[in-house]
């Protein structure tokens, strides 16, 4: 499953990295999130979807769909 963070929407709330720490990481400079791996392993898909739902900016798309 593909996962992607829209850098134009991300405000660095960090929720995604707390919900799915192995899936999202935060940039040390601007605090924006990005996917650790664009192709999320099956074992982490549920966490990636939870993180997408938790993002207040709706910046995360999973499986090619916006959250
Ligand atoms: S929860 Fe959304 S806005 Fe916050 S860091 Fe993650 S992608 Fe960015």
Q: What are phi and psi of 18, to 5 degrees?
A: -75, -40
DSSP state of 66: E
Q: What is the DSSP string of 11-64?
A: ----HHHHH-TTTEEE-TTT--EEES-SB--GGGHHHHHHHHHH-TT--EEETT
Among 5, 20, 21, which is best to mutate for testing ligand 1, by the most ligand atoms less than 8 A from CB?
5
- pLDDT for the residue numbered 63: 87
* Tally of domains in the chain: 1
- The atom of ligand 1 lying closest to the CA of 58 is 2
Q: Each residue of 9-51: pLDDT tens digit?
A: 999 999 999 999 999 999 999 999 999 999 999 999 999 999 9
For the whole model, what pTM was predicted?
Answer: 0.90
Does 45 contact ligand 1 (Cβ within 6 A)? no
Residues spanned by the domain of 18? 2-63
Residue 45 to residue 60: CA distance in whole angstroms: 13
Question: Do residues 11 and 26 lie in contact, with contact meaning Cβ atoms separated by under 8 Å?
Answer: no
CATH number of the domain enclosing 50: 3.30.70.20
Centroid of ligand 1 to alpha carbon of 49 (angstroms): 13
């Amino acid at each position: 499953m593909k996962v992607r963070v829209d850098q134009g929407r991300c405000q660095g709330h960090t929720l995604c990295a707390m919900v799915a720490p192995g899936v999202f990481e935060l940039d040390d400079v601007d605090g924006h999130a990005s996917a650790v791996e664009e192709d999320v392993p099956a074992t982490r898909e549920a966490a990636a979807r939870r993180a997408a739902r938790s993002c207040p900016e709706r910046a995360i798309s999973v499986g090619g769909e916006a959250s």
